[in-house]
């Protein structure tokens, strides 16, 4: 089964410590959800595990990292989602307010349990963002990557061969970018080029494709061949 992007969305907000973002269409039961949160608050913040209106349980793709002491970046996923209308809530610890940039996405064709294969994360300070390599165990897996940086009004250009999921940036706050592709069993990383040099953080994770169960057919057992008929003249027995 080929992994396919179903839908995605994103938003950015100022002066809050939590926000919500809804999928435009009902999510399909059994699909995979990926979400990313980028946040800034003076003094730093810890990203809290997302929740949603369907009651799904979110798992982290990687540890939290960030481009500075005041920023945080982390992505989470849901396997075998419950189906229906869905709104995701994003939060950071404490009562102080700051900036949030968040993305959500839905994919079909991802393994519905134990799907996380491998992951990596990195930080740096330049126009060249790189997550570091991952080496998936199977081909045609989902590679999902997220990044943010410390300067406002900085655009992200995704690497050739990758597809932009979502990007948010403005003159008022740090943004976020996500991208994806189908992976191979070779070492791969996710790269972006920034419009200006700045501190950045990024991560990438590989997720296994769903495995189709081969169809089985009920074939009756072979019967022993019949002995050929033989005809003999009257009074003679056929050969045995």
pLDDT at 18: 95
Q: How confident is the model at residue 233 (pLDDT cuts 50, 70, 90)?
A: low
> Does 218 reside within a domain?
no
Q: Decide if 67 is inside a domain.
A: yes
User: Is residue 88 included in any domain, yes or no?
Assistant: yes
Cβ–Cβ < 8 Å for 209, 138? yes
212: in domain: no
Within a domain: 132: yes
| Helix, strand, coil percentages for the chain (3-state, nearest 5) | 0, 50, 50
How many domains does one find in the chain? 1
- Domain membership of residue 221 (yes or no) is no
CA 71 from centroid of its chain's CA atoms: 22
Q: What is the domain extent for residue 182?
A: 4-207
Give tens-digit pLDDT for 184-209.
999 999 999 999 999 999 999 999 99
pLDDT digits (tens, 9 = 90+) for 84-109: 999 999 999 988 899 999 999 999 99
Residue 116, φ and ψ in degrees, nearest 5 = -70, 120
The answer to the question of residue 229 being in a domain is no
Q: Tokens 């897996």 appear where?
A: 141
Mean pLDDT, residues 128-144 taken together:
97
Residue for token digits 């907000």? 13
Per-residue pLDDT tens digits for 27-68: 999 999 999 999 999 888 999 999 999 999 999 999 999 999
């Amino acid at each position: 089964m080929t992994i396919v992007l179903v839908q995605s969305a994103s938003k950015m907000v100022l002066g809050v410590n939590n926000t919500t973002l809804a999928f435009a269409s009902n999510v399909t039961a059994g699909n995979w959800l990926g979400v990313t949160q980028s946040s800034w608050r003076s003094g730093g913040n810890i990203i809290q595990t997302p929740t949603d209106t369907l009651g799904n349980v979110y798992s982290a793709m990687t540890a939290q990292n960030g481009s500075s002491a005041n920023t945080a970046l982390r992505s989470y996923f849901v396997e075998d989602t419950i189906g229906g209308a869905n709104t995701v809530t994003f939060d950071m610890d404490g009562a102080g307010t700051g900036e949030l940039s968040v993305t959500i996405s839905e994919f079909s064709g991802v393994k519905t349990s134990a799907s996380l294969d491998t992951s990596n994360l990195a930080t740096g300070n330049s126009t060249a963002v790189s997550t570091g390599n991952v080496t998936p165990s199977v081909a045609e897996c989902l590679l999902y990557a997220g990044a943010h940086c410390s300067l406002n009004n900085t655009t992200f250009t995704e690497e050739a061969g990758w597809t932009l999921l979502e990007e948010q940036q403005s003159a008022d706050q740090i943004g976020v970018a996500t991208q994806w592709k189908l992976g191979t069993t070779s070492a791969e990383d996710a790269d972006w080029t920034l419009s200006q040099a700045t501190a950045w953080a990024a991560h990438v994770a590989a997720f296994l494709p769903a495995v189709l169960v081969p169809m089985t057919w009920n074939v009756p057992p072979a019967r022993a061949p019949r002995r050929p008929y033989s005809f003999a003249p009257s009074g003679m027995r056929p050969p045995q």
